[in-house]
Structure 1
Amino acid sequence: MNNKYLSMLLLGGLALASSCSKYTDIKTQGSLIPSDIDNYRYILNDTYSFESGGEMTDLAAADVSIVDAAQQSTIEGYNNYFFIRNIYLWKAPVIEVTTSHDPDWDTYYRRIYSCNVVINELPSSNGGTDSAKAELAAEALTHRADAYLNLVNEYAKPYNSATASSDLGVPLVLTQDLDQQLKRVSVAAIYNKVEEDLKTAVRSLPAASNYNTMPGKPAAYSLLARLYLLKGDYTNAGLYADSVLALKNTLNDLGTISSMPYRKSDPEIIFSKIAAQGFTYSPYVLRLSDDILNLLGTSDMRYQLFTKDAASYFGSTYTGRYFSREQINYENRNIGTSVPEMMLIKAEVLARAGSTGAAMDEVNLLRQKRFKAADYVALAATDKNDAVVKVIEERRREFMCRLLPWMDQRRLKDDPLFSKTYTRTWQGQTYTLEPSSNRYVFPIAAYVIGLNPEIEQNP
């Protein structure tokens, strides 16, 4: 077993660096531990630790189509790119080299470790009022909850009320003890802890935050709305979506906008999180599938602003359109919660309750801001099922290549309205993802299990 310790770096201000732990094994320097309350504020201001999210889910989702021979050949030519192929083809292992790290696992557990330092050390810190300490702890609880919600939706089965208490989740790490056992708890246990932490956090969070990267009450409410949607608890999902929209409901008008706002001040974004790896440069190209392009249509401003012709940017060996949102403002794509997500959660809840007209009204409120006035056409639904389908289609348009499409594929894979078998071809060989497939769950890297043999691998 490696020696393990928590590291702090003094770089202009005290900021938490990566921990060298048995579940991430990321080497760092120093051993400064904060004791003053101000230092915990510096920890929570560390953008790298707290804002970065996963990068693999978008490759697995149906939005992406890596079909150009040039891109496939480039990926095959360098082992650092193999994880792109393996995730895209739903293969196991994803991380082939047994000494290599899983970037998503490391990113989320690094954040969780930082959060645990804040949560557990704040009560005995020097200075500050009890309310100031409670607010900092609430921020850390919110960041940790987001990390666990993403982890359990990558490395565990989708939430199923009948089996969640027995389905394997992920290790639940709540202290900074690096020698603790890391056995996987159940999916239900992870969801219950996320729910508990967010409900605790919301009591001490401010009604608004200075930047979207810092959680306020809308951030905690929005994560609860997302959690309940993933659980299939539509009543609570709708209630928390409404709680968010009562506090924050601004939309960008893509039909008239002259420049896109930066994430930290974008009025649409509630709780900004970013995909750790940008995928708009060869061979990290999110080439869009015909399915999503046909769903978008060329008059949709999300097509015009957020996609580009591949050949004009990468050369004649690349075809089709690719997702180019990251080239606006040169910021990695937001995968955190947003006003559109809350609106579409509310719309789905209404549709599933049979309130077809109200559901489509909510969808159309969003769509009015996604077209030029001359191109906008309101959507209508013929019945409950048609309304649900149209809401999910709008989610695909709005969130393409931004985490939620893969979460939606997982939660809807057994729903007769959406259940389907996906196929992909790679250098002449066809790969299949069926609704019952275990490949809807990412395997845990061999390196992690090698350090922690108590962790059970996914089938």
Structure 2
Amino acid sequence: MKKILLLSCVSLFFLGCGNFLDINPESEVVNDDMFSTAEGVEDALYGVYMSMVKEDMYGGDMSVLIPELLGQNFITDDGYLTYVSSLNLAAQPARYVVKDMWIASYLVISYLNNIIDNLENKSVKNFKYYNLYRGEALGLRAAIHFDLLRLFAVHIKSTDENAKTEAIPYVTKYTFKVTPFSSVEEVYAKIIADLEEAEKCLSEDETLMPDVRKGKETGFTGARELHFNLYAAQAMLARVYWMKGDLVNAKRYADKVIRSGKFRFENKENLATFMKRRVSLSETIWGLYTTKISSYLYDAQSLLFTMYLPNGWADVYTTTSTSESEKDERLKAWFLTKANSGLSKDIFTKIMDEKNDVSAYTGGAYLGYSMIRIPEMYYIMAEALLEEGDKEEACVYLDAVVAARGMTKFRDREGKLEISFDDIMDERRKELFGEGQWWFCLKRLNRDVYVHALGATLKGSDKIYTLPLPSEELDPR
């Protein structure tokens, strides 16, 4: 019988301080009275966030390494990862290398369900920030299930009806009982329901999150961009509906985030640094605090052969401007050429760099990684408007990002009468390079994929767009 992999004894991280920027993520304790105080609930949520930034989740593998290898933005010579890079996902080594993401994700989901269960008999009478606690837990539960769905299940438009019937388990109870697999449609419905409830619970963020954030905030209601906040719920709903193919609702939620006025594009002069090891105070809708993603992923490029740029990688940034002198500013801002053992090597530095000295960091932003940023909302708006036939307004939203990156707007380019869907896709890839999103863009469209390791193009299919379940999840033969 299929079963979820859980540890025999699940415990929550207990973090005994009010600000998780200073916590010790290694401390653990099982405390029956943990949820009797607001501090206990907050510590439990901090523990969840710190679990999420371990290497087998969003501290490396699930945020960047695996999806970027799948999307062919990087390739690898590292053992079992070569099966992922070559999209040979049916092979046993591929099953082995992605197993830890599955295990870690469901373990964190169990932590969240424990929090949610313990909040059921509580209210704002017990905890001043009860709605924030519940909203964050529900939103995180939905976000993690969503990533599991788009990694390990076929797309909702797959023609394999049997595969769509059993997608992933959507676990909503803190229990060791087996949770049956839900269909793709059912999982989407449950994700959306959790996110909609989270949006209601997190309404206080309208006042808690200032329009202009300066950083260095403390306490549970400070640094809300490091928590799953109101705008994270709305942005995730936009992303979920977009992946599902419902552009009407995707547009509705993307518009909410944009119209909130809480997020703005960073000055192009700061393009090389505003995401480097940090959560942007301007563009990040929701990010995770971590001090380690830089060293883990930078070393994977510079010292090891775990992740390196393929031949012709810079062609992604070819500009469609008619000006021969115009270059995409992101190309020189987010990559560098480094001498290594007498050879030159191209290194991706957009979200990481060689230096990882936390004590030397004096910037106002928080150390960490962006889970979702404002440019994505503009791409969703542009695509939705283009589908509706409003090409002029679609161009306005696409040009907003293009201009922020120092490029000539599409509407000002000679001979460019209107934008196309491919223009939006190209800009998505350029902007979100290294953030683990490109493979999902391809999967949504069932696009053919040129695989660098094979030197060949593989036809779009469930076979190359569905990670294998851990062997322990399969029915015994």
Normalising by structure 2, report the TM-score.
0.76
The equivalent of 1:24 in structure 2 is: none
Match status 1:225 vs 2:238 = yes
1:412-427 equivalent positions in 2, closer than 5 A: 412-413=445-446, 419-425=447-453
Deviations 1:149-194 (A, max 9, x none): 110010001122877794431111111112x114321111111111
> Structure 2: how far apart are the matches of 1:408 and 1:97?
21
Q: Does the 8 A contact of 2:284 with 2:374 survive in 1?
A: yes
Corresponding residue of 2:23: none
Q: Secondary structure at the match of 1:56?
A: helix
Structure 1 residues 230 and 365: alpha-carbon distance in aligned structure 2, compared to 1, 3 A threshold = same
Q: Structure 1 residue 228: deviation in Å?
A: 0.7
Tell me the residue number matched to 1:392: 425
Give, in whole Å, the separation in 2 of the partners of 1:335 and 1:324: 14
Residue of structure 1 equivalent to 2:216: none
RMSD: 3.5
In the alignment, structure 1 residue 4 sits paired with structure 2 residue 4: no
1:32 match: secondary structure: coil
For 2:9 and 2:443, how far apart are their aligned partners in 1?
36
Q: Displacement of 1:272 after TM fit? A: 1.3
Equivalent-residue separation in structure 2 for 1:332 and 1:84 (angstroms): 28
For 2:51, the aligned partner's letter is S
Q: 1:28 to 1:256 in 2, by over 3 A?
A: closer
Gaps of 5+ in 1: 17-26, 67-71, 76-81, 414-418
Corresponding residue of 2:51: 49
Matching residue of 1:22: none
Whether the aligned pair in 2 keeps the contact of 1:292 and 1:396 (CA below 8 Å) is: no
Q: Which residue does the alignment assign to 2:35? A: 35
Q: After the TM superposition, which segments of 4 or more aligned residues of structure 1 sit over 6 Å from their partners? A: 97-101, 161-165
Deviations along 1:421-457, one digit per CA (max 9) or x if unpaired, are: 423336xxx56531125121011222xx1xx44599x
Asked if the contact 1:296–1:303 (Cα under 8 Å) also holds between the matched residues in 2, the reply is no
How many Å separate the matches in 1 of 2:87 and 2:159?
26
Matched, 1:173 2:171: yes
- SS of residue paired to 1:272: strand
- What does 1:25-424 correspond to in 2, within 5 Å? 30-33=29-32, 34-36=34-36, 37-46=38-47, 47-51=49-53, 52-53=57-58, 54=62, 55-66=65-76, 72=77, 75=78, 82-92=79-89, 96=93, 102-124=99-121, 129=126, 132-160=129-157, 166-178=164-176, 180-205=177-202, 206-207=205-206, 208-209=208-209, 210-211=222-223, 212-247=225-260, 248-255=262-269, 259-260=273-274, 263-273=278-288, 278=297, 279-281=300-302, 282-288=304-310, 290=312, 293-296=315-318, 299-309=327-337, 312-316=338-342, 319=345, 321-328=346-353, 330=356, 334=369, 336-371=371-406, 376-380=407-411, 386-413=419-446, 419-424=447-452
Pairwise CA distance, 1:250: 0.6
8 Å Cα contact 1:169-1:185 kept in structure 2: yes
C-alpha distance in 2 between matches for 1:94 and 1:14: 46
Structure 2 residue identity aligned to 1:355: D
Is the contact between residue 279 and residue 367 of structure 2 (CA under 8 Å) also seen in structure 1? no
- SS of corresponding position for 2:269: coil
For residues 278-329 of structure 1, what are the alpha-carbon distances to aligned partners after superposition, in whole Å with 9 as ceiling and x for unaligned?
24342233415525534345832211121122xx24345565x332223347
Q: 1:8 to 1:313 in 2, by over 3 A?
A: same
The 2-side partners of 1:353 and 1:313 are apart by 49
Give structure 2 stretches of 5+ with no counterpart: 21-25, 210-221, 320-325, 357-365
SS at match of 1:223: helix
Aligned partner of residue 266 in structure 1, secondary structure: coil
What is the percentage of aligned positions where both structures have the same residue? 18
Q: Quick check: 1:118–1:140 contact (8 Å CA) kept in 2? A: yes
The answer to which of 352-361 and 229-238 deviates more is 352-361
**Letter paired with 1:293:** D
Structure 1 counterpart of 2:39, which letter? D
Any conservation in 1 of the 2:241–2:250 contact (CA below 8 Å)? yes
Give CA deviations for 1:7-52 in whole Å, capped at 9, x if unaligned.
2454545999xxxxxxxxxx99653232323211111123322455
CA shift, 1:116, in A, is 0.7
Secondary structure, in 3 states, of the residue corresponding to 2:380?
helix
Normalising by structure 1, we get a TM-score of 0.79
Deviation at 1:236, TM superposition (A): 0.7
8 Å CA contact retained: 1:63, 1:292: no
CA–CA separation in structure 1 for the residues paired with 2:341 and 2:373:
34
Report how many residues are paired: 412
Change (3 A) 1:421 1:236: same
2:467 maps to 1:442: yes
Distance 1:268 1:342, change over 3 A: same
Query: Residues of 1 paired with 2:476 and 2:136: CA distance?
Result: 29
| Partner AA of 1:396 in structure 2 | R
Q: Distance in 2 between matches of 1:15 and 1:107?
A: 24
* CA separation of 1:214 and 1:356: change in aligned 2, threshold 3 A: same
Deviation at 1:369, TM superposition (A): 1.6
Cα 1:163–1:233 change in 2 (3 A) is: farther
1:69 aligns with: none
Structure 1 SS opposite 2:182:
strand
Cα separation, 2, equivalents of 1:199 and 1:317: 52
Whole-angstrom distance in 2 between the partners of 1:239 and 1:289 = 39
